[in-house]
Amino acid sequence: MTILIDPQSRLTVQYLGLQDFTEIWQKMQRYTAQRDSLSLDQVWFVQHSPIYTLGLNRKDVRMPSRDDIPVLAIDRGGKITYHGPGQLVMYALIDLKRKKITVRQLVSALENAVIHLLAQHHVIAMARADAPGVYVQDKKIASVGLRLKQERSYHGLSLNVNMDLSPFSAIDPCGYQGLQVTQMHDLEIHMSEQQIAAKLLESFAQQLGYQHD
């Protein structure tokens, strides 16, 4: 399902459900490589089957201590993380030059979308300059990793909603030994995937000047 939010905002949104990571990654690469100055910016919401992904900063990363989940080296920034069902991923395919924003502004918009969502449920969360993502009492609830090609982004944000967190214990999340993770369910926030996506999209769009219904 594809929804055009506003023709003048140049942003489309796709809700893709549970998808194989490699297929979506390749789809993002193709779109970014083929897009031109008239191509629409896009946000994709998706969940993935269990997988560990290694970012470009993978040197000296401790490999998972379990072998029942595949590991894939990819082209986003960062180190190692886990994706699985119950985690909502928000991919941001944005032409930064056309939008006149920096990569730092894009990262902040993604982080702030989560912070604003949690604040609506009286949960205080914050971003960290030394480790991109969103944290609740030093536990990571969302990760951010991007790739830029010709000032156009892909990859994005992953938010832990209601998932099996045990695969995180087999790695150093984002390369930080002992980093704990949490999720919305454990914070007593119970929302559907569609409700969460709508809130994230609303905040993201407002911050970057996109209009939507």
Q: How large is the average pLDDT for residues 151-180? A: 92
Domain boundaries, the chain: 2-208
CA 158 – CA 180 distance, rounded (Å): 15
C-alpha distances in angstroms, 144 versus 10, 35, 174, 188?
23, 23, 10, 23
Give the catalytic positions in this structure. Answer: 174
Q: Which DSSP category does 154 fall into?
A: E
In the predicted model, what is the mean pLDDT of residues 101-107? 96
Q: Which of 1-5, 97-101, 121-125 has the lowest mean pLDDT?
A: 1-5
- As its CATH architecture, domain 2-208 has 2-Layer Sandwich (3.30)
Torsion of CA 39, 211, 15, 40, to 10 degrees: 0
Report the chain's mean pLDDT, rounded to a whole number: 92
Beta strands in 20-170 (DSSP E): 41-48, 51-54, 71-73, 80-83, 87-93, 126-127, 134-136, 139-149, 152-160
- Report, as an integer, the average pLDDT of 153-166: 98
> What is the predicted pLDDT for the residue at 211?
67
Q: Residue 212 — pLDDT band, cuts 50, 70, 90? A: low
Q: How many CB atoms lie within 10 A of CB 65?
A: 8
